[in-house]
Amino acid sequence: MNLVLLFLAVVLPAYDSIKGIDRYATKAEYEAAVADKRYTLDKVEYTSDGLKVFAYVYAPKKTAKKLPVIVFNRGSYVREEFAPELLAMFRRLADSGFIVVAPTYRQSAGAEGRDEMGGADVDDLMNVMSVVRNLPGADDKNVFLYGESRGGMMTYQAIRDRFPARAAAVFGGFTDLHAMLAASPQMMSVATQIWPDYATSSASIDERRSAVLWADRLDVPLLIMHGGADSLDPGQSLALATKLQQLKKEYSLVIHAGSNHVMSDWRVERDAMVVDWFRSHMAK
């Protein structure tokens, strides 16, 4: 079914006004991306479970051929507009020949609904394929998943639920919710705000969001990356890799010594490794 996409331009504020952007880009990187007129950054509306939700689309203004697509899954919980902090990364991926589509998820960036952080909001990721299939210049036979932190957990769930990805990559993703919360009283207090019924429904909430419990259902080639100095235990990624190894799944694991949660010091190399991983799994 053809979907008529409405493209809404995204306002890009001054670098110094964007909270936390220094973890993702220098001022020079950001301003170079803002000034690069080869690409457009738009916000597209689509429907998920009857809700109005959005995705950012970063794509070349002109392309003579169909381009592969990276569906990028952001970290954190409810957010306002978050595309500006990721703009420099989007540009790196686009310079490597990809269109980038980044779902905002329900309750964020003007979208309807309530974010359950790995609950029904996973549908917003699954349903973003309606955008990809109707996106001018997009090759919907070469779609890849890329996830950061919470978005890594969403990426694992999408693979489990048969998102049509040829390969996937994750950095800073948790794979065992129970272990993560047990290690941090602060995170546990936040968990009860995200999931008010966590005290009585922890088993089902944990199971749905913990890839280490259903690694046998991860049948897409996975590149798993983690910062060695991440406050989120790199053992989370190691545990999943161990399961994938036992199951003889296709994966690669990189734990980069000294890197933080989003691998700020290694961001260019991180994205280059992801691009190489995706290219190696491209349909001809």
Residue 82 falls inside a structural domain:
yes
The answer to whether position 196 is within a domain reads no
**Percent of the chain surpassing pLDDT 70:** 99
Q: Per-residue pLDDT for 226 more than 70?
A: yes
CA distance 59 to 91: 9
Q: What is the pLDDT of residue 1?
A: 56
What's the domain count of the chain? 1
Question: Alpha-carbon distance 84 to 11, whole Å?
Answer: 8
pLDDT of residue 250: 98
The reply to whether 284 falls in a domain is no
> Does residue 181 lie in a domain region?
no
In a domain, 235, yes or no: yes
Whether the Cβ atoms of residue 127 and residue 113 lie closer than 8 Å to each other: no
For residue 3, the model assigns a pLDDT of 77
Instruction: Enter the tokens of residue 108.
Output: 């964020």
Higher pLDDT, 9 or 119: 119
> For residue 7, what are the CA distances in angstroms to 59, 143, 168, 209, 272?
12, 21, 27, 32, 28
Q: What is the mean pLDDT of the chain?
A: 96
- Give a yes or no: residue 189 inside a domain: no
pLDDT at 2 over 80: no
> Is position 185 within any domain?
no
CATH number of domain containing 247? 3.40.50.1820
Confidence (pLDDT) at 4 = 75
| pLDDT tens-digit map of 184-206 | 888 888 898 999 999 999 999 99
Q: The domain containing residue 11 runs over which residues?
A: 7-175+210-279
Give pLDDT tens digits for 236-278.
999 999 999 999 999 999 999 999 999 999 999 999 999 999 9
- 107, part of any domain: yes
